[in-house]
Amino acid sequence: QVQLVESGGGLVQAGGSLRLSCAASGSGFSISFMSWYRQAPGKQRDAVAAITPGGTINYADSVKGRFTISRDNAANTVYLQMNALKPEDTAVYYCHMVKYGVDYWGQGTQVNVSS
């Protein structure tokens, strides 16, 4: 059974930075597709950033140049460095894993950006 545990959320002023972490239990992390999603109140859950097992990275247009996704396979952890945060980045951020064709989700971590 896979567990994804996010951490690093909180309250920050606009222009500030946060670093989210997602630690995965179990084996097979290095061959898993990892991504971050976010969901603002009353809105759908949208993809923010993704990283393949080979290190190919994609970002949503809204975060390009401000967010950086990375992974540490030795630590079974994926990160999301968020810089130049804006109030519209306020949302619950979720870690997502696809391993052997199965989807797993973390419980989410709240990010609030004040203006």
Residue pLDDT, tens place only, 66-114: 999 999 999 999 999 999 999 999 999 999 999 999 999 999 999 999 9
Predicted local distance difference test score (pLDDT) of residue 1: 82
Residue 83, pLDDT score:
98
The pLDDT of 6-24, averaged and rounded, is: 98
pLDDT in tens, 43-58: 999 999 999 999 999 9
CB 67 within 8 A of CB 83: yes
